[in-house]
Amino acid sequence: MSNENQRICAMATFPLRLEGSILVIQKLLPQCDKFYCYLNGYTELPPGFPQDPKLVTVLAGPGCEHQDLGSQGKFFWCGVENGYYLTVDDDIHYPEGYVDYMVNNVDRYSRKAIVGMHGGLFRIRMGGGFPERGMAKEHRTLYPYDTAVPRDMSVHILGAGVMACYPTAIGLTRDACCGPVHSGDDEDIAIWSQRKHIPLVRLQGRTKWILPNNLVWIKDPLHRRVGYMQAADTKLKQWKQWTVQRLPEALPDLTQAKAITVQAAVVTPKGPQFSDIRLNPADLEFCHKILSSDALAAILVDRIKTRTPTSVIRMSDGERAFIEHAKGAAPAPFMLDRQWLQRYGLTNADLKRVGLDLLEAGNRADFLACTISGLYYPGFKVHQHFPERKQFIDSFFGPLWEATGRVADILRAGPVLVLHRDYARLVPILQRKYQVPKISGMSLNSWGDHDRLLRELPAHEATTVLVSGGASGKPFCVRLAEQAGKVAIDAGESTGTIWAK
């Protein structure tokens, strides 16, 4: 194969993701001609790391020649030589035929576009920027890599973990990742494509052809890195002229080859999957304790109308970490992140006390929401901390209510109060969308607001209170119901990202 047609895969990783990075290298190395790996945080190759003439590594740990570049490290070699350049991630299961499929699609667009399997469109004015309030991701419609779309589509942003291009044909180099380190390569490429008018194409693909590695992505995931999220958000908002490039004309002669490749490229995931569930007696008992979202909605509408104090709280992986820390486990990495603590209103909070309060709240709440995913995804297994509870509700009641049209029924049952740091933006949206006759809001920024609110809210006319207060907001919901006589619902991010969307 000539140098012009070589197929290059490039990945950035770090020590917590060692297992995932090895799996990706083992899967894709036979499919490509070169595999470049940027090893953030490593000062030497770890034991068991693959050795192959096609594999090139860069050490980027303390004292090394190269600095930690985070996810942007996967573009370190971009544009240095001719060839197809596929950027990949350490937390994804790639199928057989993946490299062939991506290369074929780069050629379908005559090497004039960047193609990918994960992308999004921003719901903003054509040629304009993002609103100042809220985060950029709140204005995005995402088309994830494990789901097919009906046809190839031009998008604003692609996920670099499933992306390919021919860099020297479009002028793409590592200089495109010019934003602050650890501020997002997806965002860098999106803005570069806007400047250069290079189309980003989300490929049609096939549902569940590419899958997440569920054992790996939870290890220091990006949604736990507040600093990263804020830097990426700032970067996107700095561009004020977002447009969707015209989809280039695709060559017809490779379409059939693409279809054949996709049909043959089926992957069997190695991470925990729902279809692998084998219920033991305790698991089966837990399943029988789950209350449907419709049943919960009916109960709450009745309790709102009769002004019956009620608390509904949700717990997942974050609350599990606090509870286990209170029981003696070391704090999870996100619990040491000052920016994360600030975002979720826990600055200067006693984190062990938070865990103990969560334990108490889980036992006292009228309804506790956990997820069935805890049965096959250990990081989300919270219900075992509450063995005395006779029933649980589905943690996804927020999205389910939206999907089944129950949100309006609940919000119209009585006066509503929204406790959220962004209540001024959310309240008018909720009022218009669901035609809520009486709805107001108050600021809830941190655990330090709880006592003040508990003093003020008993006299408030609201019968329903939607609370978005992070981990410390769960015990607060229980106290709010008991002390202020409200129906307090721990709606969390559903309020802003689903209901007020």
Contact status, residue 46 vs residue 15, Cβ threshold 8 Å: yes
**Average pLDDT for 98-126:** 94
Contact status, residue 182 vs residue 231, Cβ threshold 8 Å: yes
Phi, psi of 496 (to 5 degrees): -90, -35
| Residue-wise pLDDT tens digits, 296-353 | 999 999 899 999 999 999 999 899 999 999 999 999 888 998 888 888 899 999 999 9
| Residue-wise pLDDT tens digits, 150-187 | 889 999 999 999 999 999 999 999 999 987 888 889 99
| Residue-wise pLDDT tens digits, 207-256 | 899 999 988 888 877 766 778 888 888 999 999 999 998 888 887 644 44
Q: Residue written as tokens 């007020």?
A: 500
The two three-digit tokens of residue 19, written as one number: 């297992």
**What pLDDT score was predicted for residue 375?**
79
∠ CA 438-439-440, nearest 5°, is 130
Closest CA to 27 of 128, 77, 98: 98
Q: Residue written as tokens 């958000």?
A: 233
**What pLDDT score was predicted for residue 276?**
64
Which of 14-28, 204-218, 285-299 has maximum average pLDDT? 14-28
**What pLDDT score was predicted for residue 256?**
40
C-beta neighbour count of 100 within 10 angstroms? 17
What's the predicted TM-score (pTM) here?
A: 0.60
**What pLDDT score was predicted for residue 259?**
39
Domains delineated in the chain? 3-264 (3.90.550), 274-499 (no CATH)
Q: Residue written as tokens 């590419």?
A: 210
pLDDT exceeds 90 at position 126: no
C-beta neighbour count of 359 within 10 angstroms? 18
pLDDT exceeds 80 at position 486: yes
Confidence of residue 449 (pLDDT cuts 50, 70, 90): very high
Confidence of residue 137 (pLDDT cuts 50, 70, 90): confident
Distance CA 440, CA 390 (A): 35
**What pLDDT score was predicted for residue 149?**
87
pLDDT exceeds 60 at position 12: yes
Confidence of residue 108 (pLDDT cuts 50, 70, 90): very high
